[in-house]
Amino acid sequence: MRPGSLLPFALAFAPALARAGACCGSSSLLPTLITGDDRAQLGATLSNAALMGRAYSSGPAVFHGEGESESTQTLSIAAALRIFDRWQAGVQAPVVRQENSVGTAHSTRTGLGDVQASVAFEALPEWSYSAWRPQGFVFLGVTAPTGKPMSEATDPMGSDATGRGDWGLSAGSYFRKTLQAWDLFATFSFTRFLEKQIRQSNLSLRYAPNWGAAAALGVGYSPGRGDWRFGLSLSPVYEWARRYSGSLEGTRTEKLVWNAGAQVAYMPSMAWSFGLAYSDQTLLGPVHNTSLSRTASFSVQRRWEL
């Protein structure tokens, strides 16, 4: 089996690869993509993110002390469908469960996260072999604030916050190349977060639009070009500073987090893939204004061939 066949499945880990580090609600900045010769795909990812602490605009990161824990379990369903020859559409919907524990106080809440939809075009198809030219896609996506942002959380510990509260419009590209038993991939995307209004108590704030960016680089190896793939990846996620006005005026400083990841994928047939992934936001820096999590994921994907 071609090792590159497992690369499409690597994108099932996209939520783990590029988990936005924004507080209290995570979303993937990469869409679900069909990169193989498939008509449709449906996948489910179950992840557990243990929030180790937070980094602020200045000073060292603060990790949780004893008797304190925060974790997020997410079940994300992702589907993609080939519309025309090289065009496809996809959607991702997460259900988020947050657990907060401090001493004897405990809080658990579940809710829908931010839903994402995307359309992609295979700009560099793999019609014939090339020693150097990668396969490439360009995509456009939209993130809807269907999750509850922290500013609207009613739980005292913020456990019912499941989204970031922003409409986001994304554009990006994805490239992959298979070299015998090895594969390489790279993806880049920019997101425009639209203006938003926040009302809390007697505060009324308007947040100006701002930009976010994400990238991911990865390498994988399939021993004997068989059914297994072992991969590593690195994904920085950055958000520019954001002005706010109204009851208060100021600028929220930029956000930056690094996702270092490892993945194992198994593809027993062309129709099914399974995988495990680990992503760690505490290893690399610098980091600013972000939560810091360690995430373990299990994914399964079903594909339908053309």
Partner 1 sequence: MTLASFVRSTFLFVALPACGQSPLLHHVHDQSRNEPPIDTSTVAPKPTDETTPAPACQISLPKSNLCASLTWTVPSVPRKKKGAFELRFTRPGSNELVDAPATVGVVLWMPSMDHGSSPVTVERKGRGLYLATDVYFVMGGEWDIIVQLLQGEEEVLDQGTLKVQM
Judged by CB under 8 A, does residue 140 bind partner 1?
Answer: no
Judged by CB under 8 A, does residue 274 bind partner 1?
Answer: no
Judged by CB under 8 A, does residue 197 bind partner 1?
Answer: no
Which range, of 9-17, 34-42, 84-92, 144-152, touches partner 1 by CB under 8 A? 144-152
Which range, of 116-124, 129-137, 170-178, 197-205, touches partner 1 by CB under 8 A? 197-205
* C-beta neighbour count of 269 within 10 angstroms: 9
d(CA 144, CA 142): 6
CB-nearer residue toward partner 1: 182 or 304: 182
Q: How far is CA 64 from CA 3, 107, 252, 255, in A?
A: 40, 16, 24, 20
Judged by CB under 8 A, does residue 64 bind partner 1?
Answer: yes
d(CA 144, CA 32): 16
Q: How far is CA 105 from CA 49, 69, 111, 302, in A?
A: 20, 11, 20, 41
Judged by CB under 8 A, does residue 269 bind partner 1?
Answer: no
Judged by CB under 8 A, does residue 221 bind partner 1?
Answer: yes
Judged by CB under 8 A, does residue 65 bind partner 1?
Answer: yes
Q: How far is the CB of 268 from partner 1 (least distance, A)?
A: 26
Q: How far is the CB of 56 from partner 1 (least distance, A)?
A: 5
Which range, of 2-10, 38-46, 114-122, 157-165, touches partner 1 by CB under 8 A? 157-165
Judged by CB under 8 A, does residue 103 bind partner 1?
Answer: yes
286: Cβ contacts below 8 Å, ≥ 6 apart:
256
Strand pairing of 87-102 and 68-82? antiparallel
Selected binder of partner 1 within 12, 16, 33, 157 (CB under 8 A):
157
CA 121 to chain centre: 20
Selected binder of partner 1 within 197, 250, 272, 298 (CB under 8 A):
250
Q: Three-class SS of residue 302? A: strand
CB-nearer residue toward partner 1: 114 or 122: 114
Judged by CB under 8 A, does residue 194 bind partner 1?
Answer: no
In DSSP notation, 230-284 reads: EEEEEEEEEE--EEEEESS-EEEPPEEEEEEEEEEEE-SSSSEEEEEEEEESSSS
Judged by CB under 8 A, does residue 6 bind partner 1?
Answer: no
Residues 16-55 that bind partner 1 (CB under 8 A): 23-24, 53-55
Q: Report yes or no: 144 and 113 within 8 Å, Cβ to Cβ.
A: no
Q: How far is the CB of 57 from partner 1 (least distance, A)?
A: 5
What is the total count of residues that contact partner 1 (CB under 8 A)? 59
